[in-house]
Structure 1
Amino acid sequence: MPESKSRWIALLIVLFAPLLSVIDVFIINIAIPAIRKGVHATEAEVQLVIASYLLGYAAFLITGGRLGDHFGRKRIFLTGMLLFTATSCWCGLSGSALELNIARFFQGVSAALMVPQTLSYIQLLFQNPEDRAKAVGWFGFTLGVASIAGQFLGGFLTWFHFFIPGWRLIFFINLPLGIISLAGAFRYLKETGVNASSKFDIPGVVLLTVSLFCLIIPLILGREYGWPWWSWAILLSSALLFFLFFKNQDRKRLRGGAPLINTDLLKFRDFNIGLLCVFCLFVFHNTYLLISTLLFQNGFQYNPFIAGKLFVIFGIGSTISSLYSGKLIGRYGKKVVLAGVFFLFVSIGAQLFFFSSDHYSQPFIALMLFIHGAGMGVAIPSTLNVTLKSVPAEFAGAASGLYSTFQQTSSALGVSVIGGVFFSVLGKYADRLHYEQAFKAAGLCELLTLLILSVLLLIMPDSPGAAVHIGE
């Protein structure tokens, strides 16, 4: 087979990793009410269905990339895909909320093994800038398709009755796709060179994982149990653990080791501001997906299929706008991100006003979701660009890993905190009025998050030059 053709076949195979990982985020969103009924989950356990996946993903993402360098990217891609397929089936077979959340954590870990290999293969297979740009374009297109497919399948599978409950099918659907990807990788994917000298920061991974759990778990469970003393004790311990983690990382850097996070990155002011922007954006994003689907299905009484079709409009808006944002960011810089944030302000503001009255309809909701999706499609890739654009080349890999880890952690934190506000206002009520009130309270928190994001963008340097080094 000609090498030019085999490269594109290899790309098609490795794109299954981001396809499945993103489908799993959006398909869960629509299926949350059905999952809650299926495993008799509490509100906190529902939050953990989302957060546990993100925690596993965040804690092992950087290590997943290093494993590919050390053992070979094909081997780690196959391992990650096999584990992702197996843990997806475990999720589908779960008999309790606890078992499901444990399986979701390991599903996130397996995603962290396979997804970094996709980006590495794109870099290695496509050395020509023009071909690489096309490959990255297909990567972005895959993410858009995954978001649309996940919304649609989540609604379709959970609404129409099959011999297997629909919420279980949303996990089992990964089985045939995983088998196709594994077969293609065995047949067509070539092993890359290995770097046996690469090192792993196992203590760093353990310390980061424990720190994240000590932050997220009490935020979710503490609210449900009335904030007992142990929830505050664990929260305080998370602050100490994070302090020890960064001290540990800095010590390894000074000794010439291989820390999980290169703390030299924190000396670049614009990169720090960019990480805070990422924090606000993804706290906002994943929380909105949770609270809106609960409002539409439990409050407005839309069935999952209708809710899924409405969120497909969200995915279409996001996919279309993301195609143009990359072309505009080079010319207009952070103004593009601000434009995306403006769309989000308009969408959330209109939803808060109209969803608390009787002046809304499915076409209106579809319009709001399209505007919302368009805003996210502009904001997400543009924030990535303005955050990483000034990072020196020697820090590029470390910066990308830290960015992705921060993204997943922020998503989990948003679901924990603003999701907690939603459930606190909702209380034990299940009528439309209380769902609207809960959405309004959480939506105001979302608007505050967008306001902070806007301020951060305004103070962020907008020049394409070198990063601003703290202390210079």
Structure 2
Amino acid sequence: MSTDTRDVAGRGTAASTASDNPNHDRRWLVLCIVALAQLTVVLDGTIVSIALPQAQADLGISDSDRQWVVTAYALAFGALLLLGGRVADYWGRKRSFMVGMAGFAVASAIGGLAQNAMELFAARALQGVFAALLAPAALAILTTTFVGEKERAKAFAVFGAISGGGAAIGLLLGGFLTEYVDWRWCLLVNIPVAIFAIAVTLPIVKETKAHGDTSYDIPGTVLIALGLGSLVYGFTQAEKHGWASTQTVGFIGAGLVALALFVLVEKRSANPLLPLTVPWHRDRGTAFIGSMLVGSALLGGTLYLTFYLQIVLGFSPVEAGFGSLPMAAFIVMAAGVSANLSTRIGPKPLMVVGPVVAAFGLLLLTRIGVDTSYWTHVFPGLATFGFGLGLLMVPMQNLALIGVRDHDAGAASALVNATVQIGGALGTALFTTIYVSARTAFTSSHAAPTPPAGIPAEALAEAKMPSPEQLATLPAPVQEFVAAMKDYFFSAEVSGYSHAFAWAAALIVVICPLVIVLVRAKKGDLPAEGAVGMH
């Protein structure tokens, strides 16, 4: 039986000492295990993005449906993250950690062996379900293991570094696995990692639990999941049927109704999934809205960068992985600058400047074309976007914990991560609709190249997707036609990508007026320990 005297958030009470912490003696080994789990969850958000073009071709996934590879994971993860934190605290953090890791591995195996699009989508959703149990369990183990302020600061520094660097590692690892092994290993690689993590957790980590009221808010969980799922599906229907269609309006409306009912249930619940006092605060509420908009731009808007690099510019998966790295590098760089400045000037100036810089970076990406250079058109936009996000994210995460009671600190930290994932799911669905609509508008307003006269139908059929060797054997008029068709196709793709980047910029800049009007926090109001890094 655990003797842990901590609350749900894992923060120590006055009675907490190293002697009543069962994991204290092995705390640095515990940190290594938790860091490994965090790395698995974080990199899985980006490792699949690099593999997506090949997975799409292999499984015959349509352009409008491929976003579900990202959306299914982010939606399940974000919608269930708060419940996962409650389960971990009440059921047992070690037990939840091991079950989450095992389930994540099983879901990864299903996805790695998927034979069609629906199997892959379902596997990604299942990954999100178990990630929602695994991630808060890992964080709870960390916060209940490190008691001293200095040691906890070091532990969170490692945890934050993993959160920031995991996305970059996912880009590189995804590129290498896709190019030199198979895209399926971007999912299957989780299996040996999970086996190792479970094997070392079993003898090393001791069980801890929170005490007190351990009831679960099942109605709230169902309503938030149905509401968010209906919203996301409604956005995807807009691409197929239009924004004014019965399907689109119906699903979006049903989602909004479910979310409204969720708020009513939380008000009356004795042990709510989300204590409404957490987001119902002008500073914290702004931070949560901001994190949702960041997730939308980060996970939704930049998904199309992968397609542009591989499909239009012809980058290999490894090259695409390296080509995406500047964003992560500049996020880390700017986060260090932001952490120092926020203690001097407060969070508000950085939260106004950051979105403007990030939006400018996304607007730079709208200049891409079929034949533009990576270094002149992609790199400047990525670097600027990443730097702006880095300036914004540190004060925004700290703002989310201002004035939160110890009992609700876990919910506040989880809500930051949940809103990022939810924003990513909604953004991916929205930007997919924008991308498809822009591409369709381009093909409607631009005539396709006319096939050359007198060329056999067999030659034109072969010319649709010729290899370089095949192309060299075709008549010159056919070669010219193929080149014109490729330029036409790529121009339509670029039009879609550019519109997605522009809308992502518009969404993230919305943070600025919200911060100007609502945020009142000063530099002395920021939490002393800092915030937990985003997943």
TM-score exceeds 0.5: yes
DSSP-derived class of the 1:234 partner: helix
Q: Which of 420, 437, 440 is the equivalent residue of 1:424?
A: 437
Distance 1:107 1:301 in 2: 30
Q: Give the match for residue 470 of structure 1.
A: none
Q: Which has the larger radius of gyration?
A: 2
Matched AA of 1:308: G
- In the alignment, does 2:383 pair up with 1:370? yes
Matched AA of 1:16: L
DSSP-derived class of the 2:67 partner: helix
Q: Which of 349, 352, 373 is the equivalent residue of 1:335?
A: 349
User: 1:57·1:408 contact (CA, 8 Å) conserved in 2?
Assistant: yes
User: 1:290·1:419 contact (CA, 8 Å) conserved in 2?
Assistant: no
- In the alignment, does 2:470 pair up with 1:453? no
User: 2:362·2:382 contact (CA, 8 Å) conserved in 1?
Assistant: no
Cα 1:43–1:357 change in 2 (3 A) is closer
- Identity, % of aligned positions: 27
DSSP-derived class of the 1:284 partner: helix
Cα 1:241–1:364 change in 2 (3 A) is closer
Offset, 1:286: 1.0
Distance 1:156 1:347 in 2: 27
Q: What does residue range 214-363 of structure 1 map to in structure 2 within 5 Å?
A: 214-225=230-241, 229-252=246-269, 257-332=270-345, 333-353=347-367, 355-356=368-369, 358=371, 360-362=373-375
Q: Give the match for residue 187 of structure 1.
A: 203
Q: Which of 115, 130, 135 is the equivalent residue of 1:115?
A: 135
Distance 2:373 2:305 in 1: 14
User: 1:421·1:442 contact (CA, 8 Å) conserved in 2?
Assistant: yes
Q: Which of 100, 104, 109 is the equivalent residue of 1:84?
A: 104
Distance 1:363 1:184 in 2: 47
Q: What does residue range 23-172 of structure 1 map to in structure 2 within 5 Å?
A: 23-160=43-180, 162=181, 166-172=182-188
Distance 1:295 1:15 in 2: 32
Distance 1:357 1:303 in 2: 17
Distance 2:154 2:215 in 1: 32
User: 1:57·1:111 contact (CA, 8 Å) conserved in 2?
Assistant: yes
- In the alignment, does 2:29 pair up with 1:16? no
Matched AA of 1:265: V
User: 1:291·1:419 contact (CA, 8 Å) conserved in 2?
Assistant: no
DSSP-derived class of the 1:167 partner: coil
DSSP-derived class of the 2:61 partner: coil
Distance 1:157 1:273 in 2: 39
Matched AA of 1:219: F
Deviates more, 1:406-415 or 1:308-317: 308-317
Matched AA of 1:329: S
Offset, 1:98: 1.1
The two structures, once aligned, show a CA RMSD in angstroms of: 2.4
DSSP-derived class of the 2:184 partner: helix
Residue-by-residue CA offset, 1:149-196 (whole Å, 9 max, x unaligned): 100111122223x3xxx2211000111111111111112111114537
Deviates more, 1:299-308 or 1:430-439: 430-439
Offset, 1:392: 4.3
Deviates more, 1:222-231 or 1:274-283: 222-231
Offset, 1:95: 1.2
Cα 1:149–1:465 change in 2 (3 A) is closer
Cα 1:280–1:145 change in 2 (3 A) is closer
Matched AA of 2:522: S
Matched AA of 1:233: G
DSSP-derived class of the 1:461 partner: coil
Residue-by-residue CA offset, 1:274-326 (whole Å, 9 max, x unaligned): 22222222211112221211222222222222111111232222233333432
Distance 1:377 1:266 in 2: 23
User: 1:343·1:375 contact (CA, 8 Å) conserved in 2?
Assistant: yes
Q: Give the match for residue 190 of structure 2.
A: 174
- In the alignment, does 2:521 pair up with 1:462? yes
Unpaired runs of at least 5, structure 2: 1-21, 444-485, 527-535
Distance 1:407 1:288 in 2: 13
Distance 2:205 2:496 in 1: 49
DSSP-derived class of the 1:200 partner: coil
The alignment's TM-score, normalised by the length of structure 2, stands at: 0.80
Aligned residues: 457
Residue-by-residue CA offset, 1:205-232 (whole Å, 9 max, x unaligned): 1121111111111211441355653333
Q: What does residue range 430-441 of structure 1 map to in structure 2 within 5 Å?
A: 431-441=489-499
Q: Which of 184, 187, 202 is the equivalent residue of 2:218?
A: 202
Distance 1:363 1:92 in 2: 36
Residue-by-residue CA offset, 1:373-396 (whole Å, 9 max, x unaligned): 233233223211123224344532
Offset, 1:90: 0.7
Larger helix fraction of residues? 1
Deviates more, 1:210-219 or 1:105-114: 210-219
Q: Give the match for residue 7 of structure 2.
A: none
Matched AA of 1:26: T
User: 2:351·2:391 contact (CA, 8 Å) conserved in 1?
Assistant: yes
Offset, 1:79: 0.4
Cα 1:171–1:420 change in 2 (3 A) is same
Cα 1:208–1:193 change in 2 (3 A) is closer
Distance 1:324 1:133 in 2: 18
Q: Give the match for residue 500 of structure 2.
A: 442
Q: Give the match for residue 397 of structure 2.
A: 384
Distance 1:349 1:197 in 2: 49
Matched AA of 1:24: D
DSSP-derived class of the 1:198 partner: coil
Offset, 1:124: 1.2
Distance 1:267 1:13 in 2: 35
The alignment's TM-score, normalised by the length of structure 1, stands at: 0.90
Residue-by-residue CA offset, 1:411-449 (whole Å, 9 max, x unaligned): 111111123201221239672212221122122212211
